[in-house]
Amino acid sequence: MEWETVIGLEVHVQLATASKLFSGTSTRFGAEPNTQANVFDLALPGTLPVLNGKAVEMAVKFGLAVGAQINRKSVFDRKNYFYPDLPKGYQTSQLDHPTVGKGTLTITMEDGSTRTIGITRAHMEEDAGKSLHEEFPTDTGIDLNRAGTPLLEIVSEPELRNAKEAVAYLKKLHSLIVYLGISDGDMSQGSMRCDANVSVRPKGESKFGTRAEIKNINSFRFVEKAINIEVARQIDILEDGGKIVQETRLYDAVKNETRSMRSKEVANDYRYFPEPDLLPVVIDEAFIARIKATLPELPDIKSQRFQSQYGLSPYDANVLAADLHVAAYFEEVAAGCGDAKLSANWVMGDLQAYLNKAEIDISKSPIASTALANLVSRIVDNTISSKIAKAVFEAMLNGEGSADEIIAAKGLKQVTDTGAIEKVVDAVIAANPKQVEQYRAGGEKVFAFFVGQVMKESRGKANPVQVNEILLDKLTAK
Amino acid sequence: MAIELKDVENIAHLARLQLSPAEQQEAQNSINNILHMIDQMQAIDTAGVEPLAHAYEASQRLREDVVTEHDQRDVLLALAPNADRGLFLVPKVLE
């Protein structure tokens, strides 16, 4: 039987506020345990929540960026459950009246095709603390620094049809939250966490199959693997005549398997009710207008502009525009050297290859955008060839100085003096009479041999365009 | 609408309350009285009335995003029954 996969994602994004959602405690990452946990975060009696306005602004900003309905009135609710890292005994969240309603996100697949995925809602809620089970033999250690950190939970419609689409959706979401400046998006620090609801159904069936929820998959790579392995598991069960149990499963990256979380066998009953300590949040037109005015140029719009302004291909424009910092870097190089296409090639090619390998973010690139612009300028003005430029780039990475300094120090300046090139060409022709015969007998492939020889003789410095012209001239003229 | 004794047991479990049989009986009666009152309220026609999220006719004040709290870990850890190496300690929780 042919099966269709149905995936919905719940993504928790940590909002980049300085203080917590309901208290004035710092949210800085990496502090000593419990140094950022105060009376409210510990739920000491008599403390009351005061909502962080910045978190509301960030939620609205996200809503506007995905064309979502912004609810003029939203309500906080208590989600009740007991766990030691949740001191209040409930998580303050939004159930029936979230701040952000229905919106859409357009994803781009590797082949360039696009799909628009529905966003069901996005609501504000607070994070829990951290339980450390390994540190003590008979106890669990509790660190409440993270308790109360503001999260935006973004829920997609069950419209994703395979793991690759799920990854594309996550990458787009990641790109967007970084553009908007509402989160640092650092997945290794848990700033973006993903739960996936996965089910399968016979192709053509309109009813959904029973789903399993895979918890806490924290990298793009694991999302794809976890979904694929879960889909395979469900199809196996169904094809053997079995039934899928609705449950929460945990992805184990080491074993590459999902397994049932036994503790959730009993259906959760969170007994939500409206939070009596918080009033409804009212968002007026002026508030929305003010946030709208702060929206930056978003990835899709930027990609369009890169195509029209710089003449880049849709693929190149999308790749460059996807990351805010890469886009800015590229524009600086393009402005500095005047050749956008060549700049795009260098940023996406040699530079990105180096940064990926060294695992360095472009904002910390050892070669600044102005320095790369200098290098590309020297190709544009024919001072060096593209091939020599790669050597100069390597030298720049080695800290040997600027492009200009390296070209001068190593004597790499391209030879554009026709007379000088002709001399080399003459010598090469004289030294290879056999190949000259072959060429003249119609062996055009030998031409590349001559170009290679001339470039070798000139140690790569001869201008390749001129070499071609002169060679052609001399080989065809008898 | 009325609830059974087993509903009371379930609610008590969710709230982590240990009730004696007599207390369960009492809770069942109290809850059923409240549910009876709610049944009476349900009979009122509320078409066109906006649901109330809070008893006050006011909206939430927003706080500026500034850090106003400072580290009070030592004072706060001292209040806990058990703490070590900067962590609150609770009996081992196993998944």
Which pTM value belongs to this model? 0.84
Token reading at A325: 């910092």
Sequence-ordered list of residues with C-beta below 8 angstroms from that of A261, at least 6 positions apart, any chain:
A215, A247, A248, A249, A250, B95
- Mean local confidence (pLDDT), A26-51: 95
Sequence-ordered list of residues with C-beta below 8 angstroms from that of A26, at least 6 positions apart, any chain:
A18, A19, A20, A36, B67, B69
- Which pLDDT value is given to residue A478? 57
> Could you tell me if A319 and A391 lie in one domain?
yes
B69 touches A at CB < 8 Å = yes
> Could you tell me if A393 and A456 lie in one domain?
no
B74 touches A at CB < 8 Å = no
Backbone angles phi, psi at A52, to 5 degrees: -75, 115
Long-range contacts of A452-456 (CB under 8 A, 24+ apart): A453/A428, A454/A421, A454/A424, A454/A425, A454/A428, A455/A387
> Could you tell me if A57 and A161 lie in one domain?
yes
> Is the pLDDT reported for residue A258 higher than 60?
yes
What is the H or E stretch that residue A383 is in? none
| β-bridge partners, A194 | A11, A217
> Could you tell me if A306 and A172 lie in one domain?
no
> Could you tell me if A450 and A377 lie in one domain?
no
A263, A290, A317: which is the final residue of a domain?
A290
> Could you tell me if A458 and A320 lie in one domain?
no
Q: Please give the Cα distance from A157 to A104 (Å, whole number).
A: 9
* Cβ–Cβ gap A141/B73 under 8 Å: no
> Could you tell me if A214 and A361 lie in one domain?
no
* Cβ–Cβ gap B62/A142 under 8 Å: no
DSSP string spanning A128-141?
--EEE-SSSSSEEE
A257, A290, A323: which is the final residue of a domain?
A290
B63 touches A at CB < 8 Å = yes
Domain total in chain A = 3
Q: Which residues of A touch B95 (CB under 8 A)?
A: 133, 261-263
A118 touches B at CB < 8 Å = no
Q: What is the pLDDT of residues A43-89, one digit of tens each?
A: 999 999 999 999 999 999 999 999 999 999 999 999 999 999 999 99
Closest CA to A37 of A104, A87, A99, A97: A87
Contact A99, A71 (CB under 8 A): yes
Q: What is the pLDDT of residues A262-318, one digit of tens each?
A: 654 456 789 999 999 999 999 999 999 999 999 999 999 999 999 999 999 999 999
The CATH number covering residue A430 comes to 1.10.10.410
Q: Is A203 helix (H, G, I), strand (E, B) or coil?
A: coil
CA atoms within 13 A on the CB side of B63: 20
Q: Please give the Cα distance from A85 to A79 (Å, whole number).
A: 14
Q: Please give the Cα distance from A63 to A123 (Å, whole number).
A: 10
Q: How far is CA A139 from CA A3, A128, A133, A270, A345, in A?
A: 46, 19, 7, 26, 56
> Could you tell me if A111 and A235 lie in one domain?
yes
Q: Which structural domain range is residue A364 located in?
A: 299-409
> Could you tell me if A109 and A185 lie in one domain?
yes
> Could you tell me if A363 and A432 lie in one domain?
no
> Could you tell me if A10 and A158 lie in one domain?
yes
A290, A315, A344: which is the final residue of a domain?
A290
Tell me the nearest-neighbour CA distance from B92 into chain A, angstroms.
4
Q: What is the pLDDT of residues A356-402, one digit of tens each?
A: 999 998 999 999 999 999 999 999 988 888 888 999 999 999 999 99
Token reading at B19: 């009730």
Nearest CA in chain A to B89: A141
Q: Which residues of B touch A90 (CB under 8 A)?
A: none
* Cβ–Cβ gap A52/B87 under 8 Å: no
> Could you tell me if A217 and A360 lie in one domain?
no
